[in-house]
A and B are shown apart, each in its own frame.
Chain A
Amino acid sequence: MADVQREYSSVREISGPIIIVEGVEGVSYSEVVEITTPDNTKKHGQVLEVDGDVAIIQVFEGTSGTSTSGTRVRFTGRTLHLPVSEDMLGRVFNGMGEPIDDCPEIIPEEERDINGLPINPSAREYPRDFIQTGISAIDGMNTLVRGQKLPIFSGSGMPHNEIAAQITRQAKVLTGEEFGIVFAAMGITYEEANFFKENFKKTGALEKVVMFLNLADDPAIERIITPRVALTAAEYLAFEKGMHLLVILTDMTNYCEALREISAAREEVPGRRGYPGYMYTDLASIYERAGRIEGVKGSITQMPILTMPDDDMNHPIPDLSGYITEGQIIVSRDLQRKGIYPPIDVSPSLSRLMKDGIGKGRTREDHDGLQNQLFGAYAKGKEMRDLVAVVGEDALSELDKRYLTFSEEFEKKFIRQKKDENRSIEETFELGWKLLAMLPEEELKRVDQKYIDKYYPRTKSE
């Protein structure tokens, strides 16, 4: 199609982030366009639909400044590609994947379509390598493994950033291989982004971090691209260069808002709360880019962060995410109010890949029984709390009271830790057993007797 005209100024309509161009020929679906406004500003867009000689285009930088006359649209004939190279490590890019750190241009080793390709299910390797985050609520109760996608469900004003930062500083596998970090910011504030930057500096391993920043005052529609460019870089580094990567995507809520904006502008039939009906599939095309591949050395572990509007877990954003990810870490306002950091509520949190990543030869033989017992005892203690609220503490039996104290101590000693406290998995286990010693041995029905015999600190009880 070499003789086809590629630049048009026949903009018919502009609506929100969308412009519609008519009289076009040979346009391809999803291709990238370059837009020049009457005042010579350059913008980028992508074809959302072609119908005969009409192309519908989403403009990443927003349509302000564009006009139905004097705006030129050039079709590039290519889908969005990201130049990738090992030199991306240590660099900072904008939300479209262009360097913004005043360092030299990246000399690409390859250019990759930012949408990636689906991993063939029969090429995947099941994730099983325990990642020690140094945080007991995660390592002990909701263990993360290499190649998992485990989001943090949080709310505004809660310390999800601190938790994510602590994880990036402390995460390691017991065989010693280190993690590289790919960090994608979508609509977070400059301060938040800076917090992460300083944090990465602290680890002294900035040369193992790649940052993609779309900040709060950056174009909103660009957020649709940001996680994709970040994951494209991550796939290259993981599956071509053999690196193990932790990918932090924050805040997925802002990403979904951008998706909703486009959908509304296109007048699509809205789904729940106005989010598009295809949001599940769209989010899956991001989250499913985590994983391991058989015979390939690297891995992608995803930790998306999302702030639940209204702290509502049934809101479409956390709900659809939960349907795709392999569990969730839930940050609780109640615990935060009690002054507990990290305020991770272990009851509704779950790591679905935990069971295959723990136990003998991975963490320790008693891990499953121990976490199960801690979970049960904590749940029982919380039940007692509710009961006390109704009938008063005096109505409790001696045993019930022990459970009550257990739940308090569990929050204060096991869940709570310092922001720079990096607990080894053994320390977490030891702590857990120490807490169980508050309960009579006969109560430990969820742990195998042989582990009780081995680990229950008998002398210290009473």
Chain B
Amino acid sequence: MIEGNIIKISGPVVVAENMKGAKMYEVVRVGEHNLIGEIIELIHDRATMQVYEETAGLHVGEKVVSMGSPLSVKLGPGLIRNIYDGIQRPLEDLKAAQGNFIEKGFSADELPLKTWKFTPTVSAGTTISGGMVIGEVPESELVIHKILVPPNVEGKLVDIVPKGEYHIEDDVATVLTTDGEKKLKMYHSWPVRVPRPYVNKFPPAMPLVTGQRVLDTFFPIAKGGTAGIPGGFGTGKTVTQHQLAKWADAEIVVYVGCGERGNEMTQVLNEFPKLKDPRTGKPITERTVLIANTSNMPVAAREASIYTGVTIAEYFRDMGYDVALMADSTSRWAEALREISGRLEEMPGEAGFPAYLSSKLSGFYERSGRVESLCGDSGSISIIGAVSPPGGDFSEPVTQNTLRVVKVFWALDKSLKDQRHFPSINWLTSYSLYLDDVNPWWSKNVSSEWKETRDRAMELLQKENELKEIVQLIGPDALPERERVILLASQIIREDFLQQNAFHEVDSFCSEKKQVAMLKIMMDFYDMAVKLADEGITMLEIREVSGVSKIARLKYIKEEDVDSYIVGIYAELKQGYEKLLENYKGR
């Protein structure tokens, strides 16, 4: 333990002297309130620290003690359903201890001090190595928590407890390592800034299905993939992130509220227990870990929050789970980085951000991926980061650096938002580099026509965009009927497929099957309409056929009624158009 004295305080940045021997990224306790901090710079015997709690009132001369270990999280049963601040302090415990407001100088047990039903999966005598599973704990209705050997431990299992109830602090196994005997508990610690090891990374092959039509069908993200969602204020970043947390087919969701609103976390806390996962029928809280370091909580802990989140995500990945991590908003993380950097008087780069913004950002997204874990299972982390560009201008550094690393770009658009087209994802500028990777999955599991239908719809939307420019010059009436049919069909795709109301009971989630069926009928309608137009029938006549308006209702039809509803529309459309043709020929 090294003890020094404060010589400088500037907001969350504190400098102490007499710290010779302290190590980079080591945790420190600062001042008489034992504020938690982390060493971020060492020069001779001077240590510069970022402090995770309010520093007002701290004075020069107070002592600083280094704790000998880097900033770490505790990984074990009890993470699920929990809500933590940026440095893994459980907010519920904080509330119980301090009341409704967060005061400084508090530490709490990261994992609840309780017992769990432990079932060993290996027996004494086995040779074990880092990341191996030695037992299981049913943690929630949805999660079997696999007890992992810490990644840096290997040796022979001397003994392991029999099946039974054990307290989180109980030793459950003994390993004989080259350094002698080592006791293992159901949890272990891992430094947040060090990616957890794995055997191999695989290319993505499966989509992370989100139940959001514009995402799944047009710009899919793969399990193990990365997506960036930039947009000005109020364009729908948080709603989209919440939708993913609710409906994505991930086994574990880690949601990081990074420098955003307190009420948004409250909303998650209120809503999630009431929502059932469409695939398992269980409350979605049963698979969720929340990290809330809101905008009014200390900025240094905000900087740490995304690392705390991704380390927890890696831990579940290592058990063989598909994990989805949402970070809302990475811009607030970058701003925390900038504030600390400014206080260190580092050379500012573009827009005042430090030069290492880019490498830190890519280092974070690099912790995503589909891997073969040390236990031989395959697991994945998908990372979806919101970006909040000042003035909604995507040319700023955080957006640009994010776009350089992520494979999916969901571009939120202010003008769509102003028209209340939600989700206001611009279909012309957004992209996904996973289309070909996930196509085999869609063909095999949903429909062989997915990709083709999607590509044709996209083409139509692009065509619409070109036509719109012409319309502005000459008015819609001047267009040939065939092109007016394109405008009609693309309007249907925009309004009845791309738009999806997150707050509508049925529309909020749309299964893969329903997505394909919806888009298919829209494209079939288009094909039919083109044929009629070629026969000389006008777009206005085509539009009036009774089945057409029913396409718009499709999104509100419950999953179980979709098939029969669609059969009905097809029949109606067919009948309507045959009659049109007949009348026309009779004219």
- Please report A residues at the B interface, Cβ cutoff 8 Å: 1, 25-31, 48-53, 79, 113, 115-127, 239, 268-272, 277-278, 280-281, 284-285, 288-289, 291, 293-294, 296, 314, 316, 319-320, 322-324, 326-328, 347-348, 350, 352-353, 355, 372, 375-376, 379, 391, 395, 445
Determine the residue in chain A with the shortest Cβ distance to B347: A269
Residues of B near A127 (CB, < 8 A) are 263
B262→A121 contact, CB < 8 A: yes
**Given contacts A280-B335, A395-B475, A118 and B8 within 8 Å (CB-CB):** no
B261→A324 contact, CB < 8 A: yes
- Please report B residues at the A interface, Cβ cutoff 8 Å: 7-11, 15, 54-61, 83, 91-92, 94-95, 98-103, 232-234, 257, 259, 261-263, 265-267, 269-270, 292, 294-297, 299, 332, 335-336, 338-339, 342, 348, 351-352, 388, 390-393, 418-420, 475, 503, 552
Determine the residue in chain A with the shortest Cβ distance to B342: A269
B266→A124 contact, CB < 8 A: yes
**Given contacts A269-B352, A314-B392, A326 and B56 within 8 Å (CB-CB):** no
Residues of A near B339 (CB, < 8 A) are 277-278, 281
Determine the residue in chain A with the shortest Cβ distance to B388: A323
Determine the residue in chain A with the shortest Cβ distance to B94: A120
* Additional A-B contact list (4), CB under 8 Å, known A122-B269, A126-B263: A28-B57, A28-B60, A285-B296, A323-B233
Sample (20) of A-B pairs whose CB atoms are under 8 Å apart: A28-B58, A29-B56, A29-B57, A48-B10, A52-B8, A52-B60, A118-B262, A119-B262, A120-B91, A121-B83, A122-B92, A122-B269, A122-B292, A269-B348, A270-B352, A271-B352, A277-B338, A288-B296, A289-B296, A322-B233
Taken together as a complex, chains A and B put the C-alpha atoms of A118 and B9 apart, in Å, by 21
* A257, chain B: closest CB distance, angstroms: 18
A126→B390 contact, CB < 8 A: no
B57→A281 contact, CB < 8 A: no
**Given contacts A269-B342, A284-B296, A323-B388, A120 and B57 within 8 Å (CB-CB):** no
Determine the residue in chain B with the shortest Cβ distance to A278: B339
* B234, chain A: closest CB distance, angstroms: 6
A124→B263 contact, CB < 8 A: yes
The listed residue (B10, B61, B95) touching A120 by CB distance below 8 A is B95
Determine the residue in chain B with the shortest Cβ distance to A272: B390
**Given contacts A29-B57, A118-B296, A280-B332, A50 and B9 within 8 Å (CB-CB):** yes
**Given contacts A118-B101, A277-B335, A126 and B296 within 8 Å (CB-CB):** no
A280→B295 contact, CB < 8 A: yes
Residues of A near B100 (CB, < 8 A) are 119-120, 123, 239, 293-294, 296
Residues of A near B295 (CB, < 8 A) are 280-281, 284-285, 288, 324
A119→B270 contact, CB < 8 A: no
Taken together as a complex, chains A and B put the C-alpha atoms of A347 and B57 apart, in Å, by 46
* A321, chain B: closest CB distance, angstroms: 9
Taken together as a complex, chains A and B put the C-alpha atoms of A395 and B391 apart, in Å, by 38
**Given contacts A117-B102, A121-B262, A124-B266, A352 and B234 within 8 Å (CB-CB):** yes
**Given contacts A50-B9, A122-B95, A123-B100, A27 and B59 within 8 Å (CB-CB):** yes
Residues of B near A79 (CB, < 8 A) are 56-57
* B269, chain A: closest CB distance, angstroms: 6
Taken together as a complex, chains A and B put the C-alpha atoms of A170 and B339 apart, in Å, by 42
* A413, chain B: closest CB distance, angstroms: 22
Residues of B near A322 (CB, < 8 A) are 232-234
A29→B59 contact, CB < 8 A: yes
B475→A326 contact, CB < 8 A: no
B262→A1 contact, CB < 8 A: no
* B438, chain A: closest CB distance, angstroms: 33
* A158, chain B: closest CB distance, angstroms: 20
Residues of B near A28 (CB, < 8 A) are 9, 56-60
Taken together as a complex, chains A and B put the C-alpha atoms of A51 and B296 apart, in Å, by 26
Determine the residue in chain B with the shortest Cβ distance to A327: B234
Residues of A near B95 (CB, < 8 A) are 120, 122-123
Taken together as a complex, chains A and B put the C-alpha atoms of A223 and B300 apart, in Å, by 26
B101→A119 contact, CB < 8 A: yes
Residues of B near A30 (CB, < 8 A) are 55-57
Taken together as a complex, chains A and B put the C-alpha atoms of A289 and B295 apart, in Å, by 11
Residues of A near B101 (CB, < 8 A) are 116-120, 123
* A368, chain B: closest CB distance, angstroms: 9
Taken together as a complex, chains A and B put the C-alpha atoms of A319 and B15 apart, in Å, by 34
* A25, chain B: closest CB distance, angstroms: 7
Taken together as a complex, chains A and B put the C-alpha atoms of A118 and B54 apart, in Å, by 10
* B49, chain A: closest CB distance, angstroms: 13
Residues of A near B342 (CB, < 8 A) are 268-269, 277-278
Determine the residue in chain A with the shortest Cβ distance to B338: A277
B55→A29 contact, CB < 8 A: yes
Residues of A near B552 (CB, < 8 A) are 445
